A = this chain, B = another copy of it.
Amino acid sequence: MPDAYYLQLTEQLRYLITQHATQWEGKLPAERVLAERFSTTRVTLRQALAQLEGEGLIHRSNRRGWFISPARLVYDPTRDAGFNDYVGAQGRQPRTAVLKLETRSHLVAARALGLPDDQPFHHIRRRRYVDDRAVLVESLWVVPERAPELLDIYSGQSLWGLLRGRWGHHLANRSIRMVSEALSPLDAEELLVAPGAAGLNICRAIFDDQQRPIEYDEEHWLHDSLCISVELSGQQ
């Protein structure tokens, strides 16, 4: 119904994608090929592709081309189930790459946890994959007193599992913040996408059952790769 050609194109592409998903094995033909097939220019074609990207139907891997996006991962940021667990539970393959391990201060984490500005933290930066697609990068800032030798033993497993199992912490109170964002050049590079790609930023400050600060973390997700789901019972 819409008159703009790029919107008609969007519909035709949407149809083609759902039909030929398997045939193309997830990757769309080259932009020049698609532009010619639809008798238009790359500029207009890209406008249509950007629409579908906004919907989360397709995404592009920087300089590699357009790909059909897999189903969104269902994620509950209020639970402390490990990434590996809930990804596996949804029949997907999780993977984690540790990008950095260090100890230093971090103003934002300190403020979020109510600690002095120069408070040092154990910092873990990791990238996480679902079915070999990088879907998020995150930075974890752990109060060293709560997990002294963390950096020596950490190798990609569930942090919350470690905190509970090894140091006996009970993660009790948490404040969570979610904001849509454009991925920073650094985050985008680590996720192999174009700078400025749409993302979702999730920040959490975690305290134990005695209100002691445990950890602060900052996640940057590709916007099309998750569906946030929260189940609550009891009156608010």
Contact = CB atoms under 8 A, between A and B. Distances in A.
Interface residues of A, number: 43
Nearest to A52: B182
B178 A178 contact: yes
B230 A78 contact: yes
A12 interface: no
Given A2-B185, A55-B182, A181-B56, A172 B234 contact: yes
A201 to B, nearest CB: 10
Interface string A58-92: 00000000000000100001111000000000000
Contact of A56 (B72, B170, B180): B180
Contact of A231 (B2, B175, B178): B175
Interface string A170-194: 1111111111111001000000000
Contacts of A43: 43
A19 interface: no
Interface string A212-236: 0000000000011001111111111
Contacts of A102: none
A179 B227 contact: yes
A181 B54 CA distance: 6
A51 interface: yes
Interface in A1-24: 2, 7
A132 interface: no
A182 B223 CA distance: 11
A195 interface: yes
A200 interface: yes
A-B interface, 7 closest residue pairs, ranked by CB to CB distance from nearest: A54-B182, A178-B228, A180-B223, A176-B230, A55-B182, A173-B233, A51-B196
Interface of A: 2, 7, 43, 51, 54-56, 72, 77-80, 170-182, 185, 195-196, 198, 200, 209, 223-224, 227-236
28 contacts: A51-B196, A54-B181, A54-B196, A55-B182, A77-B230, A78-B230, A78-B236, A79-B236, A80-B236, A171-B235, A172-B235, A173-B231, A173-B233, A174-B232, A175-B231, A176-B228, A176-B229, A176-B232, A177-B229, A177-B230, A178-B178, A178-B227, A178-B230, A179-B227, A179-B228, A180-B180, A180-B223, A180-B224
